[in-house]
Chain A
């Protein structure tokens, strides 16, 4: 353990002033963080998938909620589940950032015309696609719901956040598949840095536990076929055989330090650096050397203007697939070199499963929690580390580490990579 120097703080730093999450590990950031620290997987037998005949009936579901009761009459019927998840996480984040008053949605105390929204999603309204396609084939075109389009479109989460909050700044949806949540934070940071928006509500949302998605991921060999949910998601373990599908959302409030301080909001974290890259290699597989992911991480560290040796923790993409975890290890070796032994790595997907387009945002939040508390969560189910994965992976129990900066990396299908470097607020 080494003491790491505090970063200098500047008024034009882009900071996070609010965080919200709903994940299989819990409702809210505190519950999610607590669940991840416990190191106990949330993967469980999934009755709905089993009843639908899915080839894999194990998933990580978010805690149950009543969308109509929490989000207003008609929310269940009019909005897909991924938008529900985005709205619930958004409310927590805007509340923490002090952006709302009595109304849980309407923005308060900021110029709503200068508030942007950038939400990542890999699939969008997957449940809507599945249910309406079933109606089309069973009952014909005259029975398809007119709400199919606004429910299904992947931009509905960002659009609905604007409708609810009144945010009339740039409103974007980013899809870099499993990197979308991190890419959204990168784009949002750039909107603030360029002066295009004062505040951006950013993150990722996904609800892709559908029969067709499970079937296709299973056909690819990407899903774990381990029949025991308790040990199915096991990043970096020698017996890992694929990921477990999860769902959820993570949302952060992004603004400049000067803007936050002017309105009395506390900077929780600084988005010190963002990096993006493409593998330019294959539709689903990473290159063996993880070169694309390494580029994204190097760019994020360079963007942060810090030495890689200041980074003491990596929240890994760590999907628990054989290919990903090796490629990510090689990427880290190339980025950190001899400093790699000082980087404590974890994959929170052992607990949460893979949240696809929400993963990068949720994991940035969790990396931020680790930084703020000096505590790295254990990787669930890591009982025998793959000897080819020469990383210091936290396992068993949380590891106390003095941290000056942390990095989180995400790698999406299509070879789209994103990395975020966070320092203290």
Chain B
């Protein structure tokens, strides 16, 4: 599941946000990938399209890295 979600994030970040695929890793912070808070909200909209999971504001407050976001999605899916 984690690997699938990492692939989903990698795909979204490269296709919708223009982030080079080799920069995306579980440890990468969204800040380092060039995304600000507005971008992260946009990312959650795209994520909802792909996974049906909607992350709320309270989830996003704690999200710094791609892995943080993956964990939040898993919590929501559980």
Interface, chain A (partner B; CB < 8 A): 68, 73-74, 77-78, 142-143, 145-147, 150
Option from B16, B17, B34, B45 in Cβ contact (under 8 Å) with A143: B45
B53 to chain A, nearest CB (A): 13
A234 to B58, CA, bound (A): 58
A145 to B47, CA, bound (A): 13
Cα–Cα, bound, A400→B51 (Å): 66
Q: Assess whether B18 is in contact with A146, with CB atoms less than 8 Å apart.
A: no
B18 touches A147 (CB 8 A): no
On B, residues with C-beta under 8 Å from A are 16-19, 34, 38-39, 41-42, 45, 54
Q: Contacts A143-B45, A145-B45; is A74 near B38 (CB within 8 Å)? A: no
A351 to chain B, nearest CB (A): 35
B18 touches A73 (CB 8 A): yes
Closest 4 CB pairs of A and B: A73-B18, A146-B41, A146-B38, A147-B38
Are A146 and B42 also in contact (CB < 8 A) when A73-B34, A74-B34 are?
yes
Q: Given A143-B45, A145-B45, are A77 and B16 also a contact pair (CB < 8 Å)?
A: yes
B contact residues around A143 at 8 Å (CB): 45
Most A C-beta atoms less than 10 A away, residue of B16, B17, B45, B54: B45
B78 vs chain A, min Cβ distance (A): 22
Q: Which residues on A sit within 8 Å (CB–CB) of B17? A: 73-74, 77
Chain B residues with Cβ below 8 Å from A78 are 38-39
Given contacts A74-B34, A77-B17, whether A147 and B42 have CB atoms under 8 Å apart is yes
Q: Can you sample 26 A-B contacts with CB below 8 Å? A: A68-B18, A73-B17, A73-B18, A73-B19, A73-B34, A74-B17, A74-B18, A74-B34, A74-B39, A77-B16, A77-B17, A77-B18, A77-B42, A78-B38, A78-B39, A142-B54, A143-B45, A145-B41, A145-B42, A145-B45, A146-B38, A146-B42, A147-B38, A147-B39, A147-B42, A150-B38
Interfacial chain A residues near B38, Cβ < 8 Å: 78, 146-147, 150
Residues on the B chain within 8 Å of A147, using CB? 38-39, 42
- Quick one: closest A residue to B20, CB to CB? A73
- Told that A73-B17, A78-B38, A146-B42 touch, could you supply 4 new A-B pairs with CB distance under 8 A? A73-B34, A74-B18, A77-B18, A150-B38
In the complex, what's the smallest C-beta–C-beta distance from B66 to chain A, in angstroms? 17
Complex Cα distance, B16 from A145, in Å, reads 13
B18 contact set on A, CB distance < 8 A: 68, 73-74, 77
Residues of B near A146 (CB, < 8 A) are 38, 41-42
- Using Cβ atoms and an 8 Å threshold, which residues of chain B touch A150? 38
Cα A147 to Cα B42 in complex, Å, equals 8
Complexed CA–CA distance, A145 and B44 (Å): 10
User: Complex formed: what's the CA distance from A68 to B45 in Å?
Assistant: 21
CA separation between A232 and B34, bound complex, in Å? 45
A136 to B25, CA, bound (A): 33
* Cα separation A239 to B10 with both chains bound (whole Å): 57
Task: Report the separation of the CA atoms of residues A78 and B36 in the bound assembly, to the nearest whole angstrom.
Answer: 11
Contacts of A74 in B (CB 8 A): 17-18, 34, 39
Q: Which residue of B lies closest to A149 (CB)?
A: B38
Cα A77 to Cα B39 in complex, Å, equals 9
Chain A residues positioned under 8 Å from B54 (CB to CB)? 142
Nearest CB of chain B from residue A66's CB, rounded to whole Å: 11
* Distance of A114 Cα from B7 Cα, bound (Å): 48
Q: How far is the CB of A29 from chain B (nearest CB, A)?
A: 30
Q: In the complex the two chains form, what is the Cα distance from A384 to B17 in whole Å?
A: 52
Residues of the A chain whose Cβ atoms lie less than 8 Å from the Cβ of B19: 73
CA distance A143 to B47 in the complex (A): 11
Contacts of A68 in B (CB 8 A): 18
Shortest beta-carbon distance, A95 to chain B, in Å? 25
Q: With both chains docked as a complex, state the minimum distance between the C-beta of B69 and any C-beta of chain A, in angstroms.
A: 16
Chain B residue with minimal CB distance to A150?
B38
State in angstroms the CA–CA spacing of A77 and B12 once bound together.
13
CB proximity of A347 to chain B, nearest CB, Å: 41
Cα distance A143–B17 in the bound complex, in angstroms: 17
The closest CB in chain A to the CB of B38 belongs to A146
- Which residues of B have CB within 8 Å of A142? 54
A422 to chain B, nearest CB (A): 41
> In the complex the two chains form, what is the Cα distance from A142 to B41 in whole Å?
11
Give A127 Cβ to nearest chain B Cβ, in Å. Answer: 17
Least Cβ–Cβ distance between B23 and chain A, in angstroms: 11
How many Å from the CB of A360 to the closest CB on chain B? 32
| Whole-angstrom CA separation of A73 from B42 in the bound complex | 15
- What is the CA–CA distance of A393 and B30 in the complex, to the nearest angstrom? 58
CA distance A78 to B35 in the complex (A): 11
For the complex, what is the distance from the CA of A147 to the CA of B39, rounded to whole Å?
8
